[in-house]
Amino acid sequence: MEYETKISKGYQVVVPAKLRKKYCLIPGDRLLWEDRKGELRVRIRKRLTWKDIAGMVAGEKRTNAVELKKKAQRGEL
């Protein structure tokens, strides 16, 4: 499905409401813009909450703080 938005004079874009709701986007979430072989892609990088962070270390599986930090920076958590 495609959605169209317009770039404002200040180079701002509005995320369509259906996509904001579908992906639970809130103020503070970040969008990553990727230029891949002439194609522009937008990925979501959600803000981590304290609950998210606590869940990373609360599991029974052994954790690696460095790897968790890398995953968080890449937006994989």
User: Does 64 share its domain with 41?
Assistant: no
Decide if 63 contacts 54 (C-beta within 8 A): no
Q: Within this chain, do residues 54 and 39 fall inside the same structural domain, yes or no?
A: no
Distance CA 43, CA 32 (A): 5
Domain extent for 60: 48-77
Q: Give the pLDDT of residue 46.
A: 75
| pLDDT exceeds cutoff 80 at 55 | no
Rounded mean pLDDT of 47-72?
70
**How far is C-alpha 8 from the chain's CA centre?**
22
Which pTM does this prediction carry?
0.56
Shared domain check, 27 and 5: yes
Q: What is the pLDDT of residues 10-40, one digit of tens each?
A: 999 999 999 999 988 888 888 999 999 999 9
The answer to whether the Cα torsion of 77, 18, 7, 10 is positive or negative is: negative
Tell me how far the alpha carbon of residue 58 is from its chain's centroid: 23
